[in-house]
Structure 1
Amino acid sequence: MTAPRKKTWRALHGIVLLDKARGISSNHALQQVRRLFQAEKAGHTGSLDPLATGLLPVCFGKATRVSGLLLDADKSYSVCARLGQRTDTADADGEVIEERPVPTLDLAQVEAVVGRFVGEVDQVPPMYSALKHKGQRLYALARKGIEVERPARRVRFDWITVDRLEGCELCLSLRCSKGAYVRTLIEDIGEALGCGAHVTMLRRTGLGPFMDHPRMYTFEELKMLAEEGQDALDRVILPTDSALTGYPAISLDADSTFHIRHGHPVFVAHAPPEGWFRIYGADGLFLGLGEVLDDGRVAPRRLLAAF
């Protein structure tokens, strides 16, 4: 009897923009993609609820070292809500806990209410969230019927537009800061309208540098590419520095490249006066992220290329 063939894992580096399907966890989606690409190491850049679809950047190899920076990035969403009903999870996956009549609303009224939430607002995180209370995830406590006090957090909504208002359905598009909960926003808008609301559809449409209609791939599309061959599949992998376009870039000469790659600070002409930036070697290779020291030298902070 022939022994089962051992799977070969590959040392891939870069980012795939996954269009996550509804009904699966972000970790499940990540593992599907990792197995398809046979990547040795993979991580994602912030969970989406199982109900949510849309942009989930999957980072391979050295790109996982910059995934944390994307966690702090702004995000954009499309969301639809059912007015007149509240659920225990604030979305359609939960149980209805309250029903109220929906008042007669026109577009101008709703836009006025929605406009109150643009800018910086204080949000109380939902119990069904991954935040921790005394070492335990809030959603784990919520599933046991335990509710704890959660301090409000200051978050930001850059803009919110009303895309549709029809009967009990309200659909919005928005852009927000890290830490903002769209489910909480919908609940708060529902309360402000006097009828309550919960999320029925949520789709992440952008994140950080991948904000303007990024090309995403469903898992089904990736499987079709895999059937064409590994080269066809690998062509969708974006370079690691595609996630860092918000940082200025500097290029080094050969001597400075040598020292930076060995972890030594160097003086670089025309370097930014402060902050973090992308570093490229004399051959154009992306080396990682650096920072200007008080004495003006450039120090490596997160090197991604081996010497």
Structure 2
Amino acid sequence: MNRYNGLINIYKEAGYTSNDVVGRLRGILHQKKIGHTGTLDPEAVGVLVVCLGNGTRLVEELTDHTKEYIAVCRLGVETDTQDMTGTILRETVDNIPEVNELMEAVNAFVGDYDQIPPMYSALKVNGKKLYELARQGIEVERKSRKIHIDSISVLDTSNLKDKHEFTMEVRCSKGTYIRTLCHDIGQRLGCGGAMAHLTRTTVGSFHLETAVTLDMVEKFRDEDKLSDIIVPVETFFRDLDSVHVKNSSRKYIENGNPFRFSDIADVELDDAQDKMDKEQMYQDKTRVRVYDEDGVFFGIYKYDARLKCFRVEKYFYERA
């Protein structure tokens, strides 16, 4: 049975939780080692990067990546979930802003922003998930978290008068709740607000245009074309320089041990001066992709200028 390693850019459809996506992929690919890189609400759609096999070692790095969303915010309403799937707590048709007021309020959230996570979230307080407490009618105090909004662009205000809705594109840091952003914009305007729809369009270098549905994954599997949609782990590090270790020194990287310049293929050290010149090629803590001479990827190493060697930072090689 094949074991798949790498990343898949999944288009999460409405009605699925992020864990539902992982569960179905385990069935499609017949392997357990699968993880996602950032929860999307069940009714939200869009990019959900899923890690397979040794790609799961990238979950933390991918979770840290900047994300982009297109959100529809409805003004004049507040709900217990901060989106339109929840129970309406307050509704009004008064004080719906003009476009210029809306733009001013939206722009106030660009930059660092202390955001209080919603009760309906998977964050834990004293070992309990907030949404579990919320379903019991229990509300607890939540500490604000500093997040960062890189940019907000208002894309459409044509429904502001009749439906009290506008559409915005948000580029933000990890940990940002777009539901809460909609709620907070409504609070700033004095009319209330809730998220009506959400599409995640980007996670790092993964974009909506190249995302595939679960049905499409099944189709690629049946046609034996999964390699067309599984992104190799090393691609994630394509901006780093590559280093190929001599086959005679392969034992070092097979065991995750450090290696030196003398172990690198195509590097000739003719004398002490040549050795010194090569050692100055890399600054301390420079990261490189490491391969053997046959092009097998082993992982990411970091140069240690004090010890004059490359030390493993993140290891991906698995013996067959």
Letter in 1 for 2:215: E
State the SS of the aligned residue for 2:21: helix
Q: Is 1:236–2:248 an aligned residue pair? A: no
Residues 83 and 102 of structure 1 are in contact (CA less than 8 Å); yes or no, is this contact kept in structure 2? Answer: no
What's the offset of the Cα at 1:46?
1.5
Q: What corresponds to 1:35 in structure 2?
A: 27
What's the offset of the Cα at 1:103?
2.7
Distance in 1 (alpha carbons) for counterparts of 2:256 and 2:220: 39
Structure 1 pair 26/279, CA: closer, same or farther in 2 (3 Å)? same
Distance in 1 (alpha carbons) for counterparts of 2:173 and 2:97: 29
Distance in 2 (alpha carbons) for counterparts of 1:129 and 1:17: 24
Q: TM-score, normalised by structure 2?
A: 0.85
State the SS of the aligned residue for 1:27: helix
Q: TM-score, normalised by structure 1?
A: 0.89
Distance in 2 (alpha carbons) for counterparts of 1:296 and 1:209: 33
What's the offset of the Cα at 1:76?
0.7
Q: Is 1:261–2:273 an aligned residue pair? A: no
Q: What corresponds to 1:91 in structure 2?
A: 83
Q: What corresponds to 2:144 in structure 1?
A: 152
Q: What corresponds to 1:284 in structure 2?
A: 295
Distance in 1 (alpha carbons) for counterparts of 2:17 and 2:243: 40
What's the offset of the Cα at 1:104?
4.6
Letter in 1 for 2:176: A
Q: What corresponds to 1:3 in structure 2?
A: none
Structure 1 pair 264/235, CA: closer, same or farther in 2 (3 Å)? same
Distance in 2 (alpha carbons) for counterparts of 1:143 and 1:117: 29
Q: Is 1:77–2:89 an aligned residue pair? A: no
Distance in 2 (alpha carbons) for counterparts of 1:110 and 1:287: 51
Q: Is 1:200–2:159 an aligned residue pair? A: no
State the SS of the aligned residue for 2:210: coil
What's the offset of the Cα at 1:226?
3.9
What's the offset of the Cα at 1:58?
1.5
Letter in 2 for 1:274: K
State the SS of the aligned residue for 2:134: helix
Kindly name which structure, 1 or 2, has the bigger radius of gyration based on alpha carbons.
2
What's the offset of the Cα at 1:40?
4.2
Residues 23 and 50 of structure 1 are in contact (CA less than 8 Å); yes or no, is this contact kept in structure 2? Answer: yes
Structure 1: runs of 5 or more not aligned = 1-8
Q: Is 1:49–2:45 an aligned residue pair? A: no
What's the offset of the Cα at 1:70?
0.7
1:274 pairs with 276, 285, 306, which one?
285
Distance in 2 (alpha carbons) for counterparts of 1:104 and 1:57: 37
Structure 2: runs of 5 or more not aligned = 262-277
Letter in 2 for 1:191: Q
Distance in 1 (alpha carbons) for counterparts of 2:144 and 2:155: 28
The alignment of Structure 1 onto Structure 2 pairs a total of residues equal to 295
Distance in 2 (alpha carbons) for counterparts of 1:69 and 1:197: 32
| Percent pairwise identity | 35
What's the offset of the Cα at 1:38?
2.3
What's the offset of the Cα at 1:176?
0.6
What's the offset of the Cα at 1:214?
4.8
Q: What corresponds to 2:317 in structure 1?
A: 305
Deviations 1:20-45 (A, max 9, x none): 01111111111112212223421111
